Amino acid sequence: MRTAVQKSKARILPKIDFRVEHDILSQGQSQQWGWLRAGMVLLDLLMISAGFILAYVVRFTLNIPFFFSGEEGPSLSFYLTLGALLIPVWIGIYAAAGLYSRQKILGGTREYALIFNSTTVAMFFVITVNFLVPQFILARGWLLLTWVFVFFFVALGRFCLRRVVYWMRARGLFITPALIIGANEEARLLAEQFSNKRASGLNVVGFISDYVPAGTELVRGIKVLGGMEDILNLSRENNVEEVIVTTSDVSSDDILTVFRQFGIAEGVTLRLSSGLYEIITTGLEVQELASVPLVKVNRIRLTGLDQVMKVILDYSIALVALLFVIPLSVVLAILIKIDSKGPVFHRRRVMGVNGRSFDAFKFRTMHVDGDAILDAHPELKEELAREHKLKNDPRVTRLGRILRKISFDELPQVFNVLRGEMSIVGPRMISPEEMEKYQQLGMNLLTVKPGITGLWQVSGRSDVSYEQRVRMDMYYIRNWSIWLDLQIILRTIPAVLISRRGAY
């Protein structure tokens, strides 16, 4: 524990020109990213061109009734010339949006959102010119198809490129050395989050702390390297390009000291954690009140347009699913009645948004006297209390095992989605008793709706340990985007119907 004297102790480190030496050491990294940016520009150029050409082919040569007008369309050479003029504008809009910025590329679902927004802006530019210049007449079908195809091809190109970069990161390229200042629980959690170098692109070389002895290993393979007095030398020795300050473990004086050294240093990015990483997963907004910047914690995770998009995705999928769920439910209801005595549906009381509990619907997969059956197996009862799951559960019926294998027991939860209690994608639903397992992280589950599927579903389901499930839920809430939801939905079908790993 730090004393009040230690917390208020101000350090004045020698003012050293960090820039020149660091620039020499990071020259190799800069060249790597320079080549990557050039490759991205070339790739986007090819993908945009492919989108333009395919849009022309679909609109003018396939004679699709929706687009066909009976008139001969403009020549391909006209649209090729148009593309040659528009592609530099398109690339310029991408660049202005940060799609070639080191801080924004390789961002997964966030990058797709940026591509979508930038493609939409570029298309609006073309539409505006088409409207303002009478001689500049373009087919509306071509405009619509161009918007769709360009987004698809550019996103596909970035997806493939990211896989190449991940492969290269496994071989030590495109990895940025980072230091974490602080050594408390938040610092440890940050290091664990960054430990997946393939996704984060960071190599945490160590921690800086005056309150934990040097050499102490906080995360596997990552130790405390020294104190604040050593930060400059350690940064140089490790060619650090990212300095991450854990504000919950560093005094304001130390933060000011770090800012003096790295705040304006070229080639070094200084980042401050919110200080709430281990307990807050909802969105944080920086707002000014009387010219004072304050961090506002959102009551729920999704707000504004994000919430609207989430609702649209939930209801559109749920309504379409009803065409499949209703007739299948009739058949399954008959089979459940034949297989064992008891009701067709099981209601499980679970936690919802803001702590409101509700009944999640499932097809019954257990015998009605399940408690009595479990009492005869005390070792299984103990395992259930510990893990909240049983691989060989004697309470499960014959039909229930099949339904669980293919996740058909969860089909009635579509009605929970339509009632606004659940989402198609979300964290795993939990009972009020399970909240204790999540400890200080439990409050974060109550900021979003639980999901029929989620990261836990496509990552092994019941084969995933409870601790891993908690971590996946927190990751999902922290990193939510509509693109992440779509990615999980696309992975759910093969995970459930093909691999079925962890389904019991």
- Over the stretch 106-163, which tens digit does the pLDDT of each residue have? 777 778 888 999 999 999 988 888 788 766 677 788 888 999 999 999 999 998 998 8
With respect to residue 145, please indicate whether it lies within any of the assigned structural domains.
yes
Compute the distance between CA of residue 1 and CA of residue 253 in angstroms, rounded to an integer: 17
pLDDT mean over 51-67: 79
**Per this entry, what is the length of the chain?**
504
With respect to residue 290, please indicate whether it lies within any of the assigned structural domains.
no
Higher local confidence (pLDDT), 70 or 289: 289
Q: Does residue 94 register a pLDDT over 90? A: yes
Compute the distance between CA of residue 264 and CA of residue 270 in angstroms, rounded to an integer: 9
197 and 59 in one domain? Answer: no
Tokens standing for 447? 């900021």
With respect to residue 390, please indicate whether it lies within any of the assigned structural domains.
yes
Taking the CA of residue 272 as centre, how many other CA atoms within 13 Å lie in the half-sphere pointing to its CB?
15
137 and 84 in one domain? Answer: yes
Confidence of residue 497 (pLDDT cuts 50, 70, 90): low
Count: domains in the chain? 3
- Token pair 């150029």: residue: 45
Q: Does residue 298 register a pLDDT over 70? A: no
Quick one: how far is CA 423 from the chain centroid?
16
Phi-psi region of 206 (alpha: psi -120 to 50; beta: other; left: phi over 0): left
Taking the CA of residue 146 as centre, how many other CA atoms within 13 Å lie in the half-sphere pointing to its CB?
28
**Of all residues in the chain, what percent carry a pLDDT higher than 90?**
20
117 and 180 in one domain? Answer: no
362 and 492 in one domain? Answer: yes
What integer pLDDT is reported at residue 418 of this predicted model? 94
DSSP letter assigned to residue 366: B
Q: Does residue 236 register a pLDDT over 90? A: no
Closest CA to 502 of 459, 470, 469: 459
- Over the stretch 362-407, which tens digit does the pLDDT of each residue have? 999 888 877 777 777 777 767 766 666 666 777 888 888 888 888 8
Q: Where are the beta strands (DSSP E) in 371-439?
A: 423-425
Sheet-wide strand order for 269-272: 217-219, 222-226, 202-208, 176-181, 242-245, 269-272
With respect to residue 292, please indicate whether it lies within any of the assigned structural domains.
no
Q: Report CA torsion sign: 489, 494, 499, 504.
A: positive
61 and 90 in one domain? Answer: yes
Q: Which residues contact 202 (CB under 8 A, 6 or more apart)?
A: 175, 176, 177, 178, 194, 242
DSSP letter assigned to residue 171: T
With respect to residue 206, please indicate whether it lies within any of the assigned structural domains.
yes
With respect to residue 432, please indicate whether it lies within any of the assigned structural domains.
yes
Output the CA–CA distances (angstroms, integers) from residue 270 to 2, 243, 407, 462, in the order listed. 24, 5, 46, 40
Range of the domain at 63: 27-169
- Token pair 């961002």: residue: 107
What integer pLDDT is reported at residue 180 of this predicted model? 92
What integer pLDDT is reported at residue 5 of this predicted model? 40
Compute the distance between CA of residue 40 and CA of residue 34 in angstroms, rounded to an integer: 10
Compute the distance between CA of residue 344 and CA of residue 399 in angstroms, rounded to an integer: 12
What integer pLDDT is reported at residue 503 of this predicted model? 53
417, amino acid identity = V
135, amino acid identity = Q
Q: Which of 232, 262, 278 is the last residue of a domain?
A: 278
